Amino acid sequence: PRRELGKLHMQQVKDLISAAKGEATPGAVELLQRAHALDPFSGKLRRKLRSPFAKHDYTYAFGRYRAEAEAKQLEEQRRHALDARRDELGLPTSFAGIQRGPFRFYTDVDPKYGKRVVGQMLAAIEAHLVRYVEVMGPLGLTHASDLDVVLFNKNGDYLAHTKASGSAGVYIPSQGCGYFFAGTAGFDFPTMLHEMTHQLNDKLLKAGVASPWFEEGIAEYFGAGELKRGCQQLQVGRPERSRLSTFRGMVTGYQGSVTPLRSFLAARQAELSGSYYAQAWALTQFLMEGGLPQGRMIVYDLIKTAQASGQRQARLSDDTMREILGRYGWTIEALEKAYLAYHQQGCKPLRGMAAFLK
């Protein structure tokens, strides 16, 4: 068990620290590094080793303990890289740059007044990355690096820089950066999660995703996630109320109409409308969480097929869609019946899947 493993590690750490006391710097540092390697992601262990390392002029930097001179040199290199990227993005020098793991974060929010929102946003983008890698990991993601995020203090400055009106955030693929603004009514975390999903699709999946409906659908899937523990943990998979309400209105004809699935899957471009986003979310939610045993495998196969094409937004033909669904005994017609039924009954996992295959 993890708890017992932790006790064993801490005893080994104590033994290594004790052994290091009688060694000159090279030997002592080697022993202390061995201690740190026992659980390199533990904050408790890092704090325990701080004083023993400090006696040999070592400090924690960039994921490990390093000689202070090396740490200072790396910090200067990081600062130069942050400044260079800020200039590439066309941001004023008033924007502070923060390196947080793979994230390069820039903001002009006054730390005196905006420390809380900045801290929450940093925690949220890290939690989102962790959950994204967990969900999409079977696709063989590339290593996360150079994930750029800009937080404007004022909406006007955000609009002037991005030209993206009508949204609290946007990911611009040509710049490889997500832009957001703090706002006065509270930060829009769902939009941030949605747009950061676009960035992770772009940079971690590389070849892109299966089609426009899935690009927006998976962004809505993560955007509907619930941030917990002070934004340090993201829970995904819950029904998104506004999209569910919109889609159920479409199904009943009360609020627009549902696009036939064959046409929806074949669309070559996403529509910037609430009904399109609702239907993209509805189909993705069903495949990811609808109780269909092969749902996620269908999703992964769609993406792998798109990746093999080498296109950012691959256009999968009707025959390709049918072939992928057929691997799992499904047809487009059966899928359409099933996902509509799933949402009509309030996103409860469907029973008796065989009934939809008749």
pLDDT, tens only, 128-157: 999 999 999 888 887 778 899 999 999 999
DSSP 188: -
- Decide: 335 and 261 in contact? Cβ < 8 Å: yes
Evaluate if residue 8 carries a pLDDT over 80.
Answer: no
**Both 172 and 287 in a single domain?**
no
**Both 200 and 219 in a single domain?**
no
- Into how many domains does the chain fold? 3
Residue ranges of alpha helices (H) inside the chain are 2-20, 25-37, 43-54, 68-88, 111-136, 155-162, 189-204, 212-223, 241-252, 261-266, 274-289, 295-309, 318-326, 332-344
Provide the pLDDT confidence category of residue 314 given band limits of 50, 70 and 90. low
**Both 36 and 178 in a single domain?**
no
Evaluate if residue 291 carries a pLDDT over 90.
Answer: no
Angle between helices 274-289 and 241-252 (to 10 degrees): 100
List, as one string, the DSSP characters of 124-171: HHHHHHHHHHHHHGGG-PPPP--EEEEEESSHHHHHHHH--TT-SEEE
Q: Among residues 70, 97, 129, which one ends one of the domains?
A: 70
Provide the pLDDT confidence category of residue 110 given band limits of 50, 70 and 90. confident
- Rounded to whole angstroms, how far apart are CA atoms 317 and 322? 9
Give the list of residues 6+ apart from residue 315 with CB closer than 8 angstroms, or none: 211, 268
Mean per-residue pLDDT for 114-119?
84
The whole domain housing 250 covers 207-358
Segment 36-68, tens digit of pLDDT: 988 876 778 889 999 999 999 999 988 789 999
Angle between helices 189-204 and 212-223 (to 10 degrees): 130
* Burial class of residue 7 (count of CB atoms within 10 Å of its CB; 0-12, 13-18, 19+): exposed
CATH code for position 111: 3.40.30.160
Q: What percent of the chain lies above the pLDDT cut of 70?
A: 90
Give the list of residues 6+ apart from residue 291 with CB closer than 8 angstroms, or none: 342, 349, 350, 351, 353
What pLDDT is stored for residue 139 in this prediction? 84
What is the pairing mode between strands 169-172 and 177-181? antiparallel
| Residue from 231, 224, 225, 177 nearest 203 by CA | 177
Spacing of C-alpha 282 from chain mean position: 20
Q: Residue 155 corresponds to which tokens in the numbers above? A: 């909406």
**Both 358 and 218 in a single domain?**
yes
C-alpha dihedral sign at 25, 26, 28, 30: positive
Q: Residue 356 corresponds to which tokens in the numbers above? A: 């939809």
Provide the pLDDT confidence category of residue 198 given band limits of 50, 70 and 90. very high
Q: Among residues 206, 239, 267, which one ends one of the domains?
A: 206
Q: Among residues 144, 179, 206, which one ends one of the domains?
A: 206
Q: How many C-beta atoms lie closer than 10 Å to residue 204's C-beta?
A: 21
Higher pLDDT, 314 or 76: 76
Provide the pLDDT confidence category of residue 115 given band limits of 50, 70 and 90. confident
Which one of 50-54, 235-239, 347-351 scores highest in mean pLDDT?
50-54
For 95-104, 130-139, 207-216, 268-277, which range has the lowest pLDDT when averaged over its residues? 207-216
Angle between helices 43-54 and 2-20 (to 10 degrees): 0
**Both 240 and 350 in a single domain?**
yes
**Both 185 and 219 in a single domain?**
no
